[in-house]
Structure 1
Amino acid sequence: MKDLDPLDLALIEGFQRDFPVCARPYATMARTLGCSEQEVLDRLDALERRGILSRIGPVFEHGRAGASTLAALAVPPDRLEAIAACVSAHPAVNHNYQRDHAWNLWFVLTADTPESLERALDEIAAATGLEPISLPMLRGYHIDLGFSLTPFLREPS
Structure 2
Amino acid sequence: MSRPAATRPALDAADRALINRLQRGLPLVDAPYAAVGAELGLSEAEVLQRLQSLLDRRVLTRFGPLFHAERLGGALLLAALAVPQADFERIAALVNAFPEVAHNYEREHALNMWFVLATATPAALEAAILGIEAATGLPVHRFPKLEEFYVGLYLPA
TM over 0.5: yes
Structure-1 residue corresponding to 2:120: 112
Correspondence 1:78-97 to 2 at 5 A: 78-80=86-88, 83-84=91-92, 87=95, 90-97=98-105
1:28 counterpart = 2:35: yes
Structure-1 residue corresponding to 2:71: 64
Q: Return closer, same or farther for 1:122/1:44 CA change in 2, 3 Å cut-off.
A: farther
Q: Return closer, same or farther for 1:33/1:62 CA change in 2, 3 Å cut-off.
A: same
Letter in 1 for 2:53: A
Correspondence 1:3-152 to 2 at 5 A: 3-16=10-23, 18-20=24-26, 22=28, 24-65=31-72, 66-80=74-88, 83-84=91-92, 87=95, 90-125=98-133, 128-137=136-145, 139-144=146-151, 146-150=152-156
Q: Secondary structure at the match of 1:63?
A: helix
Structure 2, unmatched stretches of 5+, are 1-7
CA contact (8 A) 2:69 2:120 kept: no
CA contact (8 A) 1:83 1:128 kept: yes
Q: Return closer, same or farther for 1:118/1:12 CA change in 2, 3 Å cut-off.
A: same
1:11 is displaced (CA, Å) by: 1.2
Identical aligned residues as a percent: 47
Structure 1, unmatched stretches of 5+, are 151-157
Question: How far apart are the structure 2 equivalents of 1:99 and 1:43?
Answer: 29
CA contact (8 A) 2:54 2:60 kept: yes
Query: Cα RMSD between the aligned structures?
Result: 2.9
Q: Secondary structure at the match of 2:71?
A: coil
Q: Secondary structure at the match of 1:7?
A: helix
1:11-35 residue CA offsets vs partner (Å, 9 max, x unmatched)? 123323x012525432332222222
What's the TM-score once normalised by structure 2's chain length? 0.71
